[in-house]
Amino acid sequence: MESYLIEWSTLLLRWLHLIVGIAWIGSSFYFVWLDNSLRAPQDEAMKKKGVAGELWAVHGGGFYNPQKYLVAPEKLPDDLHWFKWESYSTWLSGFALLTVLYYTQAASYMVDPAKLALSPAASVGIGIGTLALGWIVYDLLCRLLIERSQLLFAGIFYAFLVMASFVLDQLLSGRAVFLHVGAMIATIMSANVFFWIIPGQKKTIAQMQRGEAPDPIHGKRAKQRSVHNNYLTLPVLFCMISNHYSFTYSHPHAWAVLSLILLSAALIRHFFNQRHKGQQQWRYPAAGIVILAVVAAWLRPAGVATATATAAPAVTTEAVQAVLAQRCAGCHAEHPTLVGAAPAGLMLDTAARIEQHKARIVQQAVHLRAMPPGNVTHITDEERATLARWGNQ
């Protein structure tokens, strides 16, 4: 019953996280596109009102004319929409999902005994500490470099992400490393909204209500953080889906794999942001695609086990079942002992189920060597070779 409740909890939290995340990412993409696409108004009356840019657009059969003021309008409108709960809901649902799926099952998802014999509580402490440390370092860099080169900031912050990925890869399972780097970046994004963007907007409104001229520094800081959030979106999305692709996080140098993919995502996002400004800088997506191609070639399985498998004697399903019972059934069973429910619903606890998923077993355990994750159950090369011979039959 407990595992059933966990499954329902993760289902509902994933669904909620996806819904509110789409709302947040959609608004982020739209407003950065809008900001980059605005053109100076030709109407003198609009200029006198303080309009710095405008845009005409058509959508759903209607015409729209959004306008952006240089600092703020002369009079505060009665109806003003705030974009904040999309961010807060995404972070809260994501942290709840992280807690239910990872922190309550830390022994299975967080700890990798082959790296370090951590207690589940210690691994959870490292995970939560990573989220806090990421925000502290990022916020300090922003405070120091807001008036300086954003390229310098990007270089230093990326170096920090690489270092964080490396350190976590020495402590936690590969799957937990990818998820926590993504959660750290997502925490930075939501904290930007909570600590800087919304408070800055509130200060601007308060100054207007007192009859004072708004200080433009609040808008400058908010825009800086908003643009940063836009660049961090694609890296976060990759980290969130990475748990479905074990060949990435199970690599011996998973931290380097993650770092390169995050860089490629940021470069591709930069291309779109520049394109919205009318600049077609194809070298950025080209560099991102080259990086992904290099990573794909790097992760390509050697296939040594299958190359020598054909000369060996035949393997029975019973022999395979004995291997899987010891190395895989702790998770992939109708009643698993290591997790609440079988990941992806894959069960390997009967001969019929093993034969049904034969191709998948060989792909994950032999070709990609991605299962078991981090080799937590210590499957041997001889056992992988046995699976390879069985797969070739």
> Could you tell me whether strands 51-54 and 57-59 are parallel, antiparallel, or unpaired per DSSP bridges?
unpaired
Q: Percent of the chain, pLDDT > 70?
A: 96
Q: What is the pLDDT of residue 94?
A: 96
Query: Is pLDDT at 370 greater than 80 in this prediction?
Result: no
Q: Which of 206-215, 259-268, 311-320 has the highest mean pLDDT?
A: 259-268
The amino acid occupying position 367 is: H
Confidence band (pLDDT; 50, 70, 90) for 373?
confident
What is the reported pTM?
0.84
377 near 325, Cβ under 8 Å?
no
> Could you tell me whether strands 62-64 and 57-59 are parallel, antiparallel, or unpaired per DSSP bridges?
antiparallel
**What integer best gives the mean pLDDT of the chain?**
90
Query: Is pLDDT at 262 greater than 80 in this prediction?
Result: yes
Give the range among 120-129, 131-140, 281-290, 299-308 with minimum mean pLDDT. Answer: 299-308
CA distance 219 to 201: 7
Per-residue pLDDT tens for 53-80? Answer: 999 999 998 999 999 998 888 888 888 8
Q: What is the pLDDT of residue 330?
A: 87
Token pair belonging to 88: 């807060």
**Local structure of residue 97 (DSSP, 8 states):** H
Query: At CB < 8 A and 24+ separation, what contacts does 137-146 make?
Result: 138/188, 139/191, 139/195, 142/224, 142/225, 142/228, 146/220, 146/221, 146/224
What average pLDDT does range 350-378 have in this prediction?
Answer: 85
CA distance 313 to 254: 35
> Could you tell me whether strands 51-54 and 67-69 are parallel, antiparallel, or unpaired per DSSP bridges?
antiparallel
Three-state secondary-structure class, residue 267: helix
Q: What is the pLDDT of residue 3?
A: 66
Query: Is pLDDT at 375 greater than 80 in this prediction?
Result: no
Query: Is pLDDT at 334 greater than 90 in this prediction?
Result: no
Cβ neighbours of residue 343 closer than 8 Å, sequence gap 6 or more = 331, 332
Q: What is the pLDDT of residue 78?
A: 85
Question: Which helix H or strand E contains 260, and what residues bound it?
Answer: helix 254-276
Q: For residue 229, which of 91, 375, 352 has the smallest C-alpha distance?
A: 91
CA distance 185 to 55: 32
Q: What is the pLDDT of residue 244?
A: 85
317 near 354, Cβ under 8 Å?
yes
- Supply angle C-alpha 58, 64, 68, rounded to 5: 130
CA distance 192 to 368: 38
Residues counted in the chain: 393
Neighbours of 89 (CB within 10 A): 18
Q: For residue 342, which of 357, 325, 329, 355 has the smallest C-alpha distance?
A: 329
What average pLDDT does range 221-234 have in this prediction?
Answer: 93
258 near 248, Cβ under 8 Å?
yes
Query: Is pLDDT at 139 greater than 80 in this prediction?
Result: yes
Q: What is the pLDDT of residue 374?
A: 66
What average pLDDT does range 305-309 have in this prediction?
Answer: 45
What average pLDDT does range 308-330 have in this prediction?
Answer: 81
Query: Is pLDDT at 307 greater than 60 in this prediction?
Result: no
Q: What is the pLDDT of residue 311?
A: 55
Per-residue pLDDT tens for 173-211? Answer: 999 999 999 999 999 999 999 999 999 999 989 998 888
- 62/393: higher pLDDT: 62
Q: What is the pLDDT of residue 202?
A: 92
Q: What is the CA radius of gyration of the chain?
A: 25
Token pair belonging to 381: 């090369």
What average pLDDT does range 123-141 have in this prediction?
Answer: 97
Query: Is pLDDT at 309 greater than 60 in this prediction?
Result: no
CA distance 361 to 387: 8
Query: Is pLDDT at 302 greater than 70 in this prediction?
Result: no
71 near 50, Cβ under 8 Å?
yes
